[in-house]
């Protein structure tokens, strides 16, 4: 049986993952409005993945006889200055999520909840991958600068993700 403290923290993470999904959908909508359809497609796919992360925790809590309690989702930002700024903010957000996952792992260890610790391993690995992916994209933005042609190529490249 999962502890109250661990259950509350995992419910908090469900909220954080659904917020991530909402934030990335908001970023997709902004990119769409600026006609960066490839980048928008990338963000929409990311939004779907975040919802999947929330559902993974939802499934786990049910499996260990816990209770899922859904809280209100914060309103995400709706406007950014440039597509580059969108991806910079996404990077910052992923670092914030990594910290939250690390805090969950620390709590699981403190609670001697080895099953939850093991479950969270997947998220630890996933965060490394997500931060690396967004870092690579941001590095490309930095290389490109204001070169419109290169930005169009990057837009096309990022759009390929949705097609995979
Ligand atoms: Fe679910 Fe991007 O962390």
For 80-119, write each residue's pLDDT tens digit.
Answer: 999 999 999 999 999 999 999 999 999 999 999 999 999 9
CA of 121 to the centre of ligand 1 (A): 13
26 in Cβ contact with 76 (< 8 Å)? yes
Cβ of residue 97 lying under 6 Å from some atom of ligand 1:
yes
Residue 44 has pLDDT above 90, yes or no: yes
Q: Which residue has the tokens 């580059």?
A: 84
* 9-13, 59-63, 112-116, 146-150, range with the lowest pLDDT: 146-150
Instruction: Sketch the domain layout of the chain as residue ranges.
Output: 4-159
Q: What is the mean pLDDT of residues 125-138?
A: 98
Cβ of residue 104 lying under 6 Å from some atom of ligand 1:
no
Would you state the structure tokens that stand for residue 82, as one six-digit string?
Answer: 């440039």
pLDDT at 1: 82
71 in Cβ contact with 11 (< 8 Å)? yes
CA of 112 to the centre of ligand 1 (A): 25
Q: What is the mean pLDDT of residues 41-66?
A: 98
CA of 81 to the centre of ligand 1 (A): 23
The model's confidence at residue 164, banded by pLDDT at 50, 70 and 90, is low
CA of 33 to the centre of ligand 1 (A): 24
Q: Which CATH class is domain 4-159?
A: mainly alpha
Cβ of residue 11 lying under 6 Å from some atom of ligand 1:
no
144 in Cβ contact with 25 (< 8 Å)? no
pLDDT digits (tens, 9 = 90+) for 114-125: 999 999 999 999
Residue 163 has pLDDT above 60, yes or no: no
Cβ of residue 134 lying under 6 Å from some atom of ligand 1:
no
């Amino acid at each position: 049986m999962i502890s109250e403290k661990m259950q509350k923290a995992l419910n908090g993470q469900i909220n954080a993952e659904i917020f991530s999904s909402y934030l990335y959908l908001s970023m997709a909508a902004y990119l769409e409005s600026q006609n960066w359809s490839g980048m928008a497609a990338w963000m929409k796919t990311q939004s779907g993945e975040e919802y999947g992360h929330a559902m993974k925790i939802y499934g786990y809590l049910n499996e260990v006889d816990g209770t899922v309690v859904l809280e209100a989702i914060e309103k995400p930002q709706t406007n950014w200055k440039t597509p580059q700024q969108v991806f910079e903010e996404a990077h910052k957000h992923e670092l914030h999520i990594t910290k939250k996952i690390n805090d969950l792992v620390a709590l699981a260890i403190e609670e001697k909840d080895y099953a939850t610790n093991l479950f969270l391993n997947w998220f630890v690995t996933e965060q490394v991958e997500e931060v690396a992916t967004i870092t690579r994209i941001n590095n490309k933005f930095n290389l490109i600068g204001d070169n419109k042609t290169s930005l169009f190529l990057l837009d096309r490249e990022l759009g390929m993700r949705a097609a995979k």
